[in-house]
Structure 1
């Protein structure tokens, strides 16, 4: 398959040979993932007034995966933002992120990238989620499913995929960096506390730090200075690598701020950093053609 860039030039996109496996999850669960209950009193809920929002199906290699899509009810086509979920899947927080983006005029879509591996919504233990589901998701499969999501969005006639952005959180933040090295048509990305150097594995052969030279789009990285899982030394190494490669990306470190600072439904939520990051994300997308 070829993809046309903004100038109409077709560029080949590799089609990975993905192993055939059953799709375990056929639809999105309602509410929040069991592992994050009870939710915080600070949880933000964005209404769907003026929006078209709800579950959709994305045709992918071997079948289809569920996704949540939100967009303005009138007008279009709209600039497009892929929303890549954290380890808890496409639960209510990720759906709300899509609605927030739709309120800003975006076509936002969050595909469930674990649909083949397992249902994390019903798991109550974080380590179980990581070991039984997250650790089994190949990066190659994620990139292919995100490509399929872009193709589906374009087919609706409501998404302007020439203005394509991506944002993701935690596990999804890492995928933002990887997708920026995969898709030459991406305009910009925003990675919220995405791991930079987790242990490599056969299904995760490269990390963001390994792919700096291949990054195609400007990426804004938002990180916490007190993140126990992502040392500041690794963040600084990534920042230095981006500068050395001449990549127009930027990394912001919020001092004394933990992992998951935008997760308003969890105790890790830090309103000041979250609000600043959200403003920076909007400005980043506008500056780099996702508007």
Structure 2
């Protein structure tokens, strides 16, 4: 059976845009999975993940957090984001967060390209905060539960990657009706925020992604102390972005295991027992 995919407008004033995928010809109401982007946006990889969950029997929906009223600002246009991604991929990963070495590499680019990459990099990595996106994510879960014909009245869960992983956790803090949240290598919410979590949370991390994975045990302890359900997996000899099969960081064994666990989790959270 083929997939039906499309971009849709939603929100109180139709100001938001999202990529929707479901199995073609399926008429039953489907539980919904919100797929929350990496910092690169709803690119081909995120669209592919969205389609995978559609093939698994869900209404899958990836909100484009960089678009308003159907358009992106100049610095976040798809080609500009891809240019930054290509620049960073040309460097050792250790350089990404080293301003001096990164600036040295930027200085080797042609002036016009250097200006474009710098502006988009600063916009993506320096000027974005989770609070900028939580309104759209809450509107997304509301749309899927209350307005989208295919998923109306059904449960909604979330999954996010890197930036989106942190946002998936934050959505669990802010949406009391969310059925479950999955974090892939994203930062944990504050302890004050996690007090409001009402659904189970599942996290997946890489051992070598120290900036994030070293904080997971403390996050787990906070969740336990606050009576929240949190399971997690830290994969040995694995780094950041191990689920992204378009990047050099992809780890097929970790990705395969995590995907199977996520499908089981969503089935438990979203599909009522007969």
TM-score of the pair, normalised by structure 2: 0.77
Change (3 A) 1:53 1:208: farther
Aligned match of 1:215 in 175, 197, 210?
Answer: 197
Q: CA RMSD in A?
A: 2.1
Change (3 A) 1:130 1:284: farther
Q: Is the 8 A contact 1:80 1:160 kept in 2?
A: no
- The match for 1:106 is 58
Alpha-carbon distance in structure 1 between the residues aligned to 2:76 and 2:14 = 17
- Larger proportion of helix: 2
Alignment deviations for residues 134-192 of structure 1 (CA, whole Å, 9 cap, x no partner): 54344334221112223333323101453110000000000011000000000001111
Deviation at 1:252, TM superposition (A): 1.0
Aligned match of 1:176 in 137, 162, 168?
Answer: 168
Change (3 A) 1:248 1:155: same
- The match for 1:42 is none
Moved more, 116-125 or 97-106: 116-125
- The match for 2:89 is none
Deviation at 1:240, TM superposition (A): 1.2
Alpha-carbon distance in structure 2 between the residues aligned to 1:132 and 1:164 = 30
Q: Is the 8 A contact 2:185 2:213 kept in 1?
A: no
Deviation at 1:226, TM superposition (A): 0.6
Change (3 A) 1:91 1:290: farther
- The match for 2:140 is 149
Please say which structure displays the higher CA radius of gyration: 2
Alpha-carbon distance in structure 2 between the residues aligned to 1:255 and 1:152 = 38
- The match for 2:84 is 125
Query: Residues 207-286 of structure 1 correspond to what in structure 2 (within 5 A)?
Result: 207-232=189-214, 234-286=215-267
- The match for 2:43 is 91
Aligned match of 1:70 in 21, 33, 39?
Answer: 21
Deviation at 1:59, TM superposition (A): 2.6
Alpha-carbon distance in structure 2 between the residues aligned to 1:158 and 1:114 = 25
Query: Residues 191-210 of structure 1 correspond to what in structure 2 (within 5 A)?
Result: 191-196=183-188, 207-210=189-192
Alignment deviations for residues 16-47 of structure 1 (CA, whole Å, 9 cap, x no partner): xxxxxxxxxxxxxxxxxxxxxxxxxxxxxxxx
Aligned residues: 231
Does residue 164 of the first structure (1) align with residue 115 of the second (2)?
no
Deviation at 1:67, TM superposition (A): 1.4
Gaps of 5+ in 2: 86-95, 97-117
- The match for 1:55 is 7
Alignment deviations for residues 98-133 of structure 1 (CA, whole Å, 9 cap, x no partner): 110000110011011122564252222257445213
Q: Is the 8 A contact 1:66 1:111 kept in 2?
A: yes
Alpha-carbon distance in structure 2 between the residues aligned to 1:120 and 1:192 = 25
TM-score of the pair, normalised by structure 1: 0.73
Alpha-carbon distance in structure 1 between the residues aligned to 2:231 and 2:121 = 29
